[in-house]
Amino acid sequence: MRFMFVGDSMTIGRAGDYTWRYRMWQHLNSTFGGPYRIVGPRCEVYDTGADAAVSHAYADPGFPEHARRHLAGWGEGWQHMAPVMGETVAAHRPDVLLVSLGLIDLGFYTDAEQTAANVRRFVAGARAARPGIRMVLLPVIPNSRAEEDAPFAAEVDRFNDLLAKAVADLTTDASPILLAARPASYDIHRDTYDGTHPNASGEHRLAGEFAAVLHQAWGLGGPYRAAQVP
């Protein structure tokens, strides 16, 4: 089983972060019960000083390079990932995509309807390269801009509704797509370091939502227990 993480700044993380990808790697190691690989074209985290994804300074230096693979980028969203999904899936052959995107799109690039159209382009590109691919998509989660900007919060809600509709429209028996839950107890004042990007507790909460879908829907891995993951 081959997993690929796809996301924006909350997924790539910055130098000194563990990242929720690390939390998922630890979770899969403890619960998966069979061979698996984490795949993708990138392995770096974002270096704020260099303003580029060039750092390998994860919080745990023991996080092995083969498990650091991903397709995530600081400032990248659905509109950036949709055009490259076909070639990336063809090259790295993931069986499951774990996707956290949308906030950066709505904040800087596209409205809810345009962002939802890019979700559909993303799915089509991935399936063109690997018809049986599975996907778990995370809605846009709580963030400081939505808390402070009512029109933006409404746009987030609109997109999340459209994302749920896209999942319902596009899922098939051959290539199922599931919607992860927005973490019900996610608190931007406790689970982020700046109102948007997850700190350690936020990383656990994001990983936990993906783990819950994998386990409950497809029997992959087990229940997520943060206590198992330092």
* pLDDT, position 51: 96
* pLDDT, position 104: 97
* pLDDT, position 184: 79
Domain assignment of residue 37, yes or no: yes
pLDDT tens, 30-55? 999 899 999 999 999 999 999 999 99
pLDDT above 60: residue 200 = yes
Domain assignment of residue 7, yes or no: yes
Pairing of strands 37-38, 2-7: parallel
Domain assignment of residue 76, yes or no: yes
Domain assignment of residue 230, yes or no: no
Domain assignment of residue 165, yes or no: yes
Average pLDDT score over residue span 203-225: 96
Domain assignment of residue 176, yes or no: yes
What's the domain count of the chain?
1
Q: Which residue segment(s) compose the domain that 25 sits in?
A: 2-224
Domain assignment of residue 229, yes or no: no
Q: Please tell me the distance from the alpha carbon of residue 18 to that of residue 62, in angstroms, as a whole number.
A: 11
Pairing of strands 177-179, 45-47: unpaired
* pLDDT, position 225: 86
Task: Look at the pTM and tell me if it is higher than 0.85.
Answer: yes
CATH number at residue 118: 3.40.50.1110
Q: Residue 229: which pLDDT band, with cuts at 50, 70 and 90?
A: very low
Looking at every residue in the chain, the average pLDDT score rounds to 96
Torsion sign (Cα): 132, 10, 23, 61: positive
